[in-house]
Amino acid sequence: MTPRHSARQRCLLVIAALFVFLSGHVASLPAQEPNGLKPRSSTYRDIDYSMTPEEQRTVFTLGAVTSLWFLAIGCCVGSFLNVVVYRLPLGLPVGLPRSRCPKCQNAIEPRDNVPIIGWLRLRGRCRSCQLPISARYPLIEAAIGGLFLALLHRELLSGGANLPVRDPNTYNGVVWILWYTKWDLVGIYLFHLLLLVVLWGAALIEHDGFPWPTGMVGFAAGVGLIMLACWPHLYLVSAWGTQASHWTSLVSGGIGAVTSGLIAGALTKCFWKGPAPEPLSTDTSPAALPPADPRNQLTLSASLAGLFLGWQTGGALAVIAFLCLSLPGGIGHRMRRHAVACFAGLTTVMIFVWRPAYAAWTSAGSFLSVQP
């Protein structure tokens, strides 16, 4: 462990040690109910009659430590996203050099680079020159950490209760999903996190007045296609309703990206007139990208959502986002200046309510199909 990353790694290792220690106590829990009994409901808390009070406390503590672990990982991802959002639009390398104060040019010390905690310890100022550090950095770290934590409980530990088509796991919770690891759910969780983190990162870049950097779009699309090629079960709603396989998921992802992008592009081309809004950024350096056009931003967002979620969901999100951005008056104008943020918010909500939304959509389609 190098001194550069010692502070952040030490925090993660402490949480990991607690997780491993508690996992040892959970190893003795039964994988199935005694005497062939079925659980009385869908959560492990409702089958506590099979565990002693000590085991119940261990499971509860393990769940709390697991939540803390995922929150810490999310905050670290948010810290890295801060670097990406600042450097990519300016054409700077993401990995090196180390982060520095823009005034005194001193490198940020490892102990000050711990997400949220480092900013609080410094009281929002550079250790060397006392230059104020924007509260945006810890807020982004906390927001991404909260996203990791919320999706952990809504999608992963719930056994996929928010996912359409796929039946939720009968046994769920931290023991049944993570200790007796359900790798298919873990993969879906990471797949959706990738989409959301990229969308929110692009929303922050848009807030600074720049369009999506080409590398960021290509990275997200490339990783998404590779994941679909390797693990076809990540694609829940196929383009034509067949069972997922390696090639059908890959083709469905391509169809979803193209179709959703075409829907968003057609809507913006036909119904949005006038020039793009003025950039929010005051950066006039040669490395800075041109101001963002919300029409292109919405098209890219919808295309990426279609690749990850399917043309049905991506197209629906494109239509809903277009309607929101077309609102008259000041509300619509402000939303158009933050088109990607609007789309990212809609996508986040959609993933959390995907199952009931999909059920309502299919029910409405079945009702209309039987009408004379």
The region of weakest confidence among 119-123, 191-195, 223-227 is: 119-123
Q: What percent of the chain has pLDDT over 70?
A: 76
Q: Quick check: helix, strand or coil at residue 46? A: helix
The pLDDT of residue 35:
38
The pLDDT of residue 129:
79
Please identify, among 156, 182, 198, the residue that sits at the C-terminal boundary of a domain: 156
What amino acid is encoded at 108 in this protein? I
* pLDDT tens-place string over residues 308-333: 998 889 999 999 998 888 887 777 77
Same domain, yes or no: 336 and 234: yes
Report the C-alpha gap between 251 and 264 in whole angstroms: 20
Same domain, yes or no: 152 and 219: no
Report yes or no on 186 lying in a domain: no
Residue 73 has pLDDT above 80, yes or no: yes
Read off the pLDDT of each residue in 36-60 and give the average, rounded to a whole number: 59
Same domain, yes or no: 70 and 8: yes
Same domain, yes or no: 13 and 148: yes
**Residue 97 vs residue 1, higher pLDDT:** 97
**Residue 143 vs residue 90, higher pLDDT:** 143
The pLDDT of residue 134:
84
At 290, is the pLDDT very low, low, confident or very high (cuts 50, 70, 90)? low
Residue 361 has pLDDT above 90, yes or no: no
Please identify, among 93, 122, 156, the residue that sits at the C-terminal boundary of a domain: 156
The reported pTM is 0.81
* pLDDT tens-place string over residues 136-188: 999 999 999 999 999 999 999 999 999 988 888 888 888 888 888 899 999 99
Domain that holds residue 151: 1-26+57-156
Same domain, yes or no: 150 and 214: no
Same domain, yes or no: 243 and 110: no
**Residue 66 vs residue 243, higher pLDDT:** 66
The pLDDT of residue 42:
45
Answer for the pair 174, 255: CB distance below 8 angstroms, yes or no: no
**What is the phi/psi pair of residue 132, to 5°?**
-60, 135
Report yes or no on 306 lying in a domain: yes
User: What's the structural domain count of the chain?
Assistant: 2
At 37, is the pLDDT very low, low, confident or very high (cuts 50, 70, 90)? very low
Residue 286 has pLDDT above 60, yes or no: no
Report yes or no on 165 lying in a domain: no
Locate 163 and state its tokens: 């996912």
Report yes or no on 184 lying in a domain: no
* pLDDT tens-place string over residues 209-251: 888 888 888 899 999 999 998 888 888 877 666 556 667 888 8
**Residue 2 vs residue 209, higher pLDDT:** 209
- Residue identified by tokens 């393990």 is 62
Report yes or no on 18 lying in a domain: yes
DSSP state, residue 125: B
At 14, is the pLDDT very low, low, confident or very high (cuts 50, 70, 90)? low
Same domain, yes or no: 115 and 20: yes
Locate 81 and state its tokens: 């996203």
The pLDDT of residue 364:
61
* Average pLDDT for the chain: 78
Read off the pLDDT of each residue in 64-80 and give the average, rounded to a whole number: 93
Read off the pLDDT of each residue in 338-356 and give the average, rounded to a whole number: 93
Same domain, yes or no: 115 and 222: no
Closest by Cα among 152, 150, 155 to 166: 155
Please identify, among 156, 175, 193, the residue that sits at the C-terminal boundary of a domain: 156
Same domain, yes or no: 3 and 119: yes
At 365, is the pLDDT very low, low, confident or very high (cuts 50, 70, 90)? low
Q: What percent of the chain has pLDDT over 90?
A: 32
Read off the pLDDT of each residue in 194-208 and give the average, rounded to a whole number: 93
**What is the phi/psi pair of residue 281, to 5°?**
-85, 150
The region of weakest confidence among 10-24, 108-122, 184-198, 269-283 is: 10-24
Report yes or no on 350 lying in a domain: yes
**Residue 333 vs residue 84, higher pLDDT:** 84
Same domain, yes or no: 8 and 89: yes
**Residue 176 vs residue 3, higher pLDDT:** 176
Q: Quick check: helix, strand or coil at residue 17? A: helix
Angle between helices 136-151 and 183-207 (to 10 degrees): 150
**Residue 154 vs residue 39, higher pLDDT:** 154
Closest by Cα among 256, 286, 140 to 201: 140
Same domain, yes or no: 15 and 90: yes
Same domain, yes or no: 256 and 356: yes
